[in-house]
Amino acid sequence: MGRRPCCDKLGVKKGPWSAEEDNKLINFILANGHCCWRAVPKLAGLLRCGKSCRLRWTNYLRPDLKRGLLSEEEERLVIDFHARLGNRWSKIAAMLPGRTDNEIKNLWNTHIKKKLLKMGIDPVTHRPLHRQASPEASPSTVTTDKSDDQLQSQGNEGQIPSSDNRSPAEASSIDGGTDPLMSCLWEDSAPVLLDELWQLSSDDDGNNYGSVIAGRMPWEEEGSSEWLLDIQDLENLDGERSISAQGYPRR
DNA sequence: AAAGACCACAACCGCCACTCC
DNA sequence: AGGAGTGGCGGTTGTGGTCTT
């Protein structure tokens, strides 16, 4: 097709966003919304491409974003959704309100993957590593002698022979068509029914994940309005920002 | 205290899907 | 029908902070 780049490289700023740029983008979108991302930088007076603006907004500036580390329960959800969906970060993120695909992807690559490996669980297939030594143990062709790098580059392709990027678990769920959680996910529905779905669904080994979510869901915890404070911080550009250039206190 | 290694995460890149004309 | 434009996704990279030697 031969498409144009999303922006002509000339005169377009790249790299980390300044507080002033953030402020401009926030003010513009809160006032006007974003009808067309390509037009946003021009209208907002930013020397950025629309794609960069969209990314900055969705991954960092969006008012409904949660900040800070994922709770253990959120982490567990990510692991389970990954087992079912593979590297479909946006789908996974959609089930965790206030979290972005980028955030979850980063978390997976930096934390969870290592954690699972440490526990002897293959982060790709979500099966015990030693079980994969036997040919019939896993539908995957992954073997234990693969390095972490190989697993990474393999992504979820290693577990998915078909071209549609489905994990074996999700493929079987879809083919079976009986998993309410999966049907919810595939229908892109909001996570409002998640509690019930967790209670209904159980994994291959019969574990009932409903018990994991016995109490409040992670996103019900307080702090969902912290963005207001953050925006106020951004608007206070003359003073010292209480948040770092990345937008939240660093570790 | 300094240097190098390692880690975490924001941002970029390239591709794909969808819509419009 | 198919080209062009746009949004969105997943993989990767760059950068700054922290840790280790």
CATH of the domain at A97: 1.10.10.60
- What range defines the domain where residue A46 resides? 19-61
Measure A243 CA to C8 C1' (Å).
29
**Identity of residue A55:** L
- A86 belongs to a structural domain: yes
Measure A16 CA to B16 C1' (Å).
27
pTM of the model: 0.65
Measure A102 CA to B2 C1' (Å).
35
What pLDDT shows up at residue A183? 57
Q: How many domains does chain A have?
A: 2
- A108 belongs to a structural domain: yes
Burial of A51 (0-12, 13-18, 19+ CB in 10 A): middle
**Which nucleotide's C1' atom has the smallest distance to the CA of A110?**
B8
Alpha carbons within 13 angstroms on the beta-carbon side of residue A140 total 28
**Which nucleotide's C1' atom has the smallest distance to the CA of A6?**
C6
Domain end marker among A35, A61, A87: A61
- A80 belongs to a structural domain: yes
Longest pairwise C-alpha distance within chain A: 64
**Which nucleotide's C1' atom has the smallest distance to the CA of A34?**
C7
Alpha carbons within 13 angstroms on the beta-carbon side of residue A53 total 29
- C13 closest protein residue (CA to C1'): A15
* CB-CB contact of A40 with A56 (8 Å): no
Domain end marker among A128, A143, A176: A128
Look up tokens 């019930």; give the residue.
A196
Burial of A232 (0-12, 13-18, 19+ CB in 10 A): exposed
| Closest listed residue to residue A219, CA positions, set A27, A62, A74 | A74
Q: How far apart are CA A224 and CA A243, in angstroms?
A: 17
Cβ of residue A51 lies below 7 Å from strand B: yes
What pLDDT shows up at residue A34? 80
What pLDDT shows up at residue A143? 37
- A199 belongs to a structural domain: no
- B11 closest protein residue (CA to C1'): A15
- A168 belongs to a structural domain: no
- A186 belongs to a structural domain: no
- A52 belongs to a structural domain: yes
Q: How far apart are CA A89 and CA A85, in angstroms?
A: 9
Distances A75 to A81, A185, A191 between C-alpha atoms, Å = 10, 18, 16
| Closest listed residue to residue A13, CA positions, set A3, A25, A30 | A25
**Token pair recorded at residue A66:** 């949660």
Q: How far apart are CA A42 and CA A108, in angstroms?
A: 35
Residues of chain A with pLDDT under 70: 1-10, 130-251
- A140 belongs to a structural domain: no
Cβ of residue A38 lies below 7 Å from strand C: yes
Cβ of residue A153 lies below 7 Å from strand C: yes
Domain end marker among A104, A128, A152: A128
Cβ-proximal residues to A241 (8 Å cutoff; 6+ apart), any chain: A19, A233, A234
Residues 228-247 of A with CB under 7 A from strand B: 246-247
